[in-house]
Structure 1
Amino acid sequence: MSTLSQLAVPFVYGLIFFLGYPSQWMLMHLEPEPLTKNELIASNVILVLIWITYTKSVFVDPGTVPKDWAEKELRDEKEGDAVAKSRKWCRKCDAAKPPRAHHCKECKRCIPKMDHHCPWTANCVSHTTFPHFLRFLFYTTIGLSILEAFLFTRLAHLWSNRDLPSYLGPSFLQLAHLFTTLIANSITLFVLGILFLRNIWCLSVNTTTIEGWEIERHKTLLRRARHFGGYLSTPDGSQIRIKRQEFPYDIGIFANIAQGMGSSNPLNWLNPFAATPSLASGLSFETNDFEDASTTWPPPDPDRSYRRRVKEEGPAFTYRDAELSKEDTLAAFRARQAEDEMRRRKPFVERMEAVRDTGGDDYEYDHMDDASEEAEDEGRKYGEGDEGEEGWRNSEGERLKDFGVDEDAEFYDEQEDHIPLSELMARRQVAAASASEGWSMSGSTY
């Protein structure tokens, strides 16, 4: 963890203290009148709620995926359940990755239903921490709005009496304190207010910040595939069918909120002492059945496809490393292995230009000029460069790494056909054992 991230949490605690307590002393000495008893009570109650919810956002564990969760999922699986299944394997954790989980580059592990890694809490906003984080945003927005109203009342009074002699007004230190508090409070309220509204929207449609990025990425791929007959090429040159896929986790507004807040009781949504959602409830999620049960989220992305080994030019057996030492030979092998697994694709703009230069013989393409202009616009807007398609940015200029996601683990998490053989055999044994138990129980009923 960097020094800057280590200072983030103490800075936020200091900002809460600065905006919460010295401002009360200042407002008690400024005209037109000091704060009333009820205003002081309301301000301090909100301040206590902010302290509690922020502390929970910082110190509640974002969750760790159990190593044996996939086996338990197979044992508990029932036919007809509309529940998302895992199709991913995280090589860095060496474990199956649950639906909606992502590998956090800061926490160094897969986080269940990861929303993003928040630098201001030095913690992941996840299935277990999201309710505390949203309550913190809610109470902070209320508290900052109340303080903003108090400050503007005093500022309006000062403006209306600006013609009076200075000795009848506040001192220079009081004025400096007033304007410093006003600037800090206004900026913080603006930023947190927008963040709160965005999270409310995400909660109502049951999407995380990362999934919002994935939805926009999917729309971009659909738009590109339209010009190539519905197909896009993978790093090894094969074709993937890109078709529209609905987001599977939007199950209705109330159900979405109940799932995100960990309770169907509206009183618990605002309760700062509400229980943290269980980790088990963040390993599988109900789906809306708009898509076939075999589909997964995120939708297929050619740039996330695992590169197959291709035939190299030259003789079948070579001695290219014969002159190297044992350590250098191993290093060269690992470099070739990494290059084979994580080949960076050219940006879409360059690939479009290559197709146009060759006449586009491999594609059924009727709108080359329009698509090329669109690709160039996207390349300039989203900053695609030498990093390839992994460097794609959404409309706000964000990459997955900006949310704390480990991009190497995310883009090259292995699909079901690359899960280790030992893991597949273990799953088959669990499924067979579950099936035999089911037969024995059904036979005992006769």
Structure 2
Amino acid sequence: MLDPRFSRLAVASSTLLIATLAYASQLLLLSPHLSRAQCIFFNTLVACVWISYYRSITTHPGSPPKDWAPPVHDGEDAEEGRGRAEERRLVVGTGKWCRKCMGYRPVRAHHCRTCNVCVLRMDHHCPWTNNCVGYRNLPHFLRFLAYSAFTSLYLLTHLFSRCLVVWEARNTPAYSSPHTLPQLLLLTALTLITIFTTFALSILSLRTFWSVTNGYTTIETWEQDRHDALVARKKVPRQEFPYDIGFWDNLCSAFGGTGNILSWAWPLSRTRSVGETIRGSGDVVMQGGLEWEVNGYEDLSVVWPPVDPDKLSAAGFEKAVETTVAEGEGDEWVEGVRRRQREDLDRRRARGETGARQEELRYPRIAEKGWEWRNGEGESLADYGVEVEAEGDDEDVPLAVLMKRKMK
């Protein structure tokens, strides 16, 4: 991730790049060789890029209301939840305490260290827009990526066509060349820049849309990678990602809860509001940004991201082992844990560590501490813009707040 301190420079650079590729290519090179229809089509695409980029920059990603708090469920709510679990369609409206905002934030929300606010369904802080990508501006960001990648690809086809003309005329005298020397230099530069831009945008777009169609945010892909690493090391039992509700429903959720494909592509589509009523699959009704539909593969009490094994108590870890055994994966999992425990114990004994330290090896711990873990690309949670110090737990809630909720 680009350093947030350079975000303004990144926005200026992106603006200059769009303007150069869109207008210098036309005015100085392609204009005489484009038909009227091609010119209108290309400039329409460019306009969509500008609008989507502007809205990605200026639209607030969405924050939880200051007085928002997770609902307190009674017995009737729990019974209703079990009934909905049988239909494999649930709504999760729980949350965690933010140490920075001193308030609750819903699931999938994180505190951005650059914007200094909690962002609903935070995907990441994007330095190229100098803004977080979150619940409200995610559709604009997706449109910006799609239009940018397609427009640069369309431009590249016309630049290649001019390169082909130049190549076919390579044996003709210089005075009959289809382009002047400055135009040839410009054609070469624009072609190289457009190739790189198209490749980068295509990779970013494919990666982003892959995450969206699978129900993930960019941050949640990091959380999933970390969970997979923990499972592979026999640290924790496997837990299913809860927000993957199917290819089509995932797309509808990302584009504001609507299945209207035309509105997905329309750059002036309405920006959704926090807390507005949104219909999910079937008869599911949610508060936009504050509640999320889940697939029901896990129990309602199971949270995502999975609990950090460094924070698991001995009793909690034993319970996790019992759960895994009950699910039929226990023998292999427990044996793997015990093997790693013996190996760790032997290594520590070889270094002459105390028995008190050896006692800690009764329960496995990941070598990388919590949010400091890095994925295969070398990225930690902080690289996505998250203020890791604000990733609080239930025990961080002030007593006065708990008492106030209890009295409601």
* TM-score over 0.5 (shorter chain): yes
Asked if structure 2 preserves the Cα contact closer than 8 Å seen for 1:27 and 1:35, the reply is no
Indicate how the Cα distance of structure 1 residues 114 and 138 shifts in structure 2: closer, same or farther if over 3 A, else same: same
Larger radius of gyration: 1
- From 391, 402, 407, the counterpart of 1:424: 402
Once the 2 structures are TM-superposed, how far is the Cα of residue 353 of structure 1 from its aligned partner? Answer: 5.5
Report if the CA contact (8 A) 1:102-1:112 is conserved.
Answer: yes
- State the one-letter code of the partner of 1:267: L
Q: Identify the match of residue 141 of structure 2 among 118, 133, 136.
A: 133
Aligned residues: 347
1:286-365 alignment, distance < 5 Å: 286-303=293-310, 356-358=347-349
Q: Kindly indicate whether the alpha-carbon contact (under 8 Å) linking 2:29 and 2:183 is maintained by their aligned counterparts in 1.
A: no
Question: 5 Å matches for 1:67-216?
Answer: 67-70=66-69, 73-74=71-72, 78=77, 79-80=80-81, 82-169=90-177, 170-216=179-225
User: How far does the alpha carbon of each residue in 1:354-385 deviate from its partner, in whole angstroms, 9 at most, with x for none?
Assistant: 652327787689xxxxx9xxx9xxx8xxxx6x
- How far 1:206 moved relative to its partner? 0.9
Aligned to 1:295, the other structure's residue is in SS state coil
2:332 aligned partner: none
Does residue 407 of structure 2 align to residue 392 of structure 1?
Answer: no
Q: Which residue pairs with 2:60 in the alignment? A: 61
Equivalence for 2:42: 43
Within-5 A mapping of 1:224-239? 224-225=233-234
Q: Is the 8 A contact 1:86 1:96 kept in 2?
A: no
Match of 2:15 among 10, 13, 16: 13
Distance change in 2, residues 1:244/1:3 (3 Å): closer
Q: Secondary structure at the match of 2:125?
A: strand
* Distance (whole Å) between structure 2 residues aligned to residue 425 and residue 361 of structure 1: 38
Runs of 4+ in 1 over 4 A off after TM superposition: 74-78, 351-355, 359-365
- The change in CA–CA distance for 1:5 and 1:355 in structure 2 (over 3 A counts) is farther
TM-score, normalised by the number of residues in structure 2? 0.78
1:158, distance to aligned residue in structure 2 (A): 0.9
Letter paired with 1:276: T
- 2 CA distance for matches of 1:167 and 1:259? 58
In structure 2, the partner of 1:235 is: none
Q: Is the aligned partner of 1:265 residue 2:268?
A: no
Over 3 Å counting, the alpha-carbon distance change for 1:288 and 1:114 in structure 2 is: same
Deviation of 1:421 after TM superposition, in Å, equals 1.1
- Deviation at 1:252? 1.4
- Find the aligned partners of 2:343 and 2:255 in 1 and give their Cα distance: 44
User: Structure 1 residues 130 and 304, CA, compared in 2 at 3 Å: closer, same or farther?
Assistant: farther
The separation in 2 between residues aligned to 1:303 and 1:75, in whole angstroms, is 29
- Residues 1:361 and 1:101: Cα distance change in structure 2 (over 3 Å): closer
Structure 2 CA distance for aligned equivalents of residues 188 and 64 of structure 1: 32
* Structure 1: unaligned runs, 5 residues or longer: 226-231, 233-241, 307-348, 366-370, 431-446
1:390 is displaced (CA, Å) by: 3.9
1:27 to 15, 19, 29: 29
SS class of match (2:224):
helix
Does structure 2 retain, via aligned residues, the 8 Å contact 1:204–1:256?
yes
Report how far residue 159 of structure 1 moved.
1.3
Q: In the superposition, relative to structure 1, how do residues 297 and 274 fare at CA in structure 2: closer, same or farther (>3 Å)?
A: same
The aligned residue for residue 336 of structure 1 is none
Give the match's secondary structure for 1:124.
strand
Partner of 1:317: none
3-state DSSP of counterpart to 2:111: strand
Distance 1:401 1:102, change over 3 A: same
What SS is found at the alignment partner of 2:104?
strand
Match of 2:91, SS state, is coil
Asked if the contact 2:245/2:295 (under 8 Å) is kept, the reply is: yes
Structure 2 CA distance for aligned equivalents of residues 2 and 395 of structure 1: 22
Write the deviation string for residues 311-337 of structure 1: whole angstroms up to 9, x where unpaired: xxxxxxxxxxxxxxxxxxxxxxxxxxx
Q: Secondary structure at the match of 1:70?
A: coil
Give the CA deviation at 1:2. Answer: 6.1
